[in-house]
Structure 1
Amino acid sequence: MASLIIAAIFFVSLLSTATVAHGRRFVRSYDEPCKEMTLYFHDILYDFSNSTANSTSAVVASPTALLRAMNTTIFGTTVVFNDPMTEGKALPPSLEETEVRAQGLYLYDGKEALNAWLAFSVVFNSTAHRGTLSLMGADPSTATRDISVVGGTGDFFMARGVATLRGDAVEGFTYFRLQMDIKLYECYV
């Protein structure tokens, strides 16, 4: 009987500590987000004609000769980026010294349509927030698309949620801006 009571106390203590981490309380909601924010993602692709000083992304793998011979789109192209993110639409004065950055990659995985797959971290280094959010998912050629928030660190420790992406501006092949509405449904507060 005593061992059963000890096991029950141990189990209850595990449950109570599972909801508190780093002195914060765990919040989960399936209908109301525990945190929401809107950020703008600015991507400036280096294409051999623009300056490398203001480029924030570059193609690191191009389609093979076989794929080009098959007349596919840009299937197989992989881009690595370190893009500034802002709360407003304006491009920041200094591309390298922003408080929020998106760092990761996207690769084009659609043979017929311009579809991509994204995997990146949003890195926060400001007085308002410190830490990262990790996002990944399919980026099809649609007006809006959702990708998963799969984790986080610091102020966003173990966060889970959804980021809705919308194309906001496109200038040729070298610049695009995405509006990213982030809704976190699992947070430590």
Structure 2
Amino acid sequence: MSFITLFFFFTLCFILFFTITEQKFSEQYPATKAAALEKEKTTHLHFYFHDIVSGKHPSTVSVAGTKNAFGNVVIIDDPLTEGHEPKSKIVGRAQGSYAFSSEDKACLLMVMTFAFEEGKYNGSSVSVLGRNRFLENVREMPIVGGSGIFRFGRGYALAKTVRYNVKTGDAVVEYNMFVMHY
């Protein structure tokens, strides 16, 4: 090889080696705990969840099941309202599923996103994933995430059945959510 060819080759290698930046899979950003805590907020949400099983337009549909409750899986698109009455102002929708997850206890596995459609929360959501022992007076479930205003959301949801119709299966559940977010 000639000197010019070797010089060109090494120059090209040098340029490529020092100009290509290394791509990183992840990166951590330094932040003090005090700064993070100053920006964090807690929001209390209060609304009613209407699980409508009966009628011409149910908001709950069974997609898998057995003769007994254990193993039944339900998909939901339930309205969320300001008050407990069905005609109360709609503030969002609960979308997701729940499954009867215990052979010997009245227990549901809840996988839901509460998508809000009203006021400053319009377009934001809170996600819940957890166990719901629906015969208990008040149940607590974890909030595992959120979007929009509730990005990086975490906290807990308290659910309390206000009304349950044994004949139809329709239910109204009061929710109090405490969401920590930035």
TM-score by length of 1: 0.72
1:92-171 alignment to 2 at 5 Å?
92=87, 98-130=90-122, 131-140=124-133, 141-171=135-165
Runs (4+) of structure 1 exceeding 6 A deviation are none
Larger-Rg structure: 2
Counterpart contact for 1:41–1:180, Cα < 8 Å:
yes
Pairwise mapping of residues 19-98 of structure 1 onto structure 2 (< 5 A)?
26-27=39-40, 34-46=42-54, 50-51=55-56, 53=57, 55-63=58-66, 68=67, 73-92=68-87, 98=90
> Is structure 2 residue 30 aligned with structure 1 residue 14?
yes
**1:158 aligned counterpart, secondary structure:** coil
Q: Secondary structure of 1:128's match? A: helix
Unaligned runs of 5+ in 1: 1-12, 29-33
Larger helix fraction of residues: 2
Task: Mark the runs of 5 or more structure 2 residues left unpaired by the alignment.
Answer: 1-28
Q: Matches of 1:119 and 1:145 in 2, distance apart?
A: 15
Tell me the number of residue pairs that the alignment of Structure 1 and Structure 2 aligns: 150
Higher relative contact order, chain-length normalized (CA < 8 Å, sep 6+) = 1
CA RMSD, 1 decimal: 2.4
Identical aligned pairs, as a percentage? 22
Rounded Cα–Cα distance in structure 1 between residues aligned with 2:88 and 2:156: 29
Structure 2 length-normalised TM = 0.74
